Amino acid sequence: MEEEQADMIYMAVSSMLSMVLIASLFGDLLGVNVFELAKQVITKPWVIPKDIIEQYYPLWYGMEWFLLIVMLADQVYTMRYYSVNKGFPPASYTRWVSLLIFIPSFFLLILFRTATFFLLTILSTTSLVYSFMKKEEE
């Protein structure tokens, strides 16, 4: 592993740990257990009525198909770009794809609360934040 890659991994891990510690300290100052709050947010019973979910199910189903198509297209493009250019796609591409994945996965997470949509939301958020911090290569 190159030193530059090791530095990037170190920075990502230290940033995540720092965010957890900042959230914990912020919660302590407000007198709120952040981890208990996160648990309640994730496991809280449905707040969206089932009849609305059932009424608009074709829309949610379409969002899942859109999400799948965007993810497949991104996978193909990224692998092709990497094999031809021996590098990752530009940050502007990553930013747009991350946003296209984040928006439907976030709404689907709110509706269905599955681990798949939770993981997609977290990973796309991380990718989106990273793409905003990454310098555009010229």
DSSP codes of every residue in 30-61: HT--HHHHHHHHHHSPP-S-HHHHHHTHHHHH
In this predicted structure, what is the pLDDT of residue 18?
Answer: 81
Cα 21 off chain centre by: 20
Query: Is residue 71 classed exposed, middle or buried when 0-12, 13-18 and 19+ CB atoms within 10 A define those classes?
Result: middle
Determine the Cα angle at 25 with ends 115 and 35, to 5°. 25
Task: Please give the model's pTM, rounded to 2 decimal places.
Answer: 0.65
In this predicted structure, what is the pLDDT of residue 38?
Answer: 77
Spans of the chain, pLDDT less than 70: 1, 45-47, 135-138
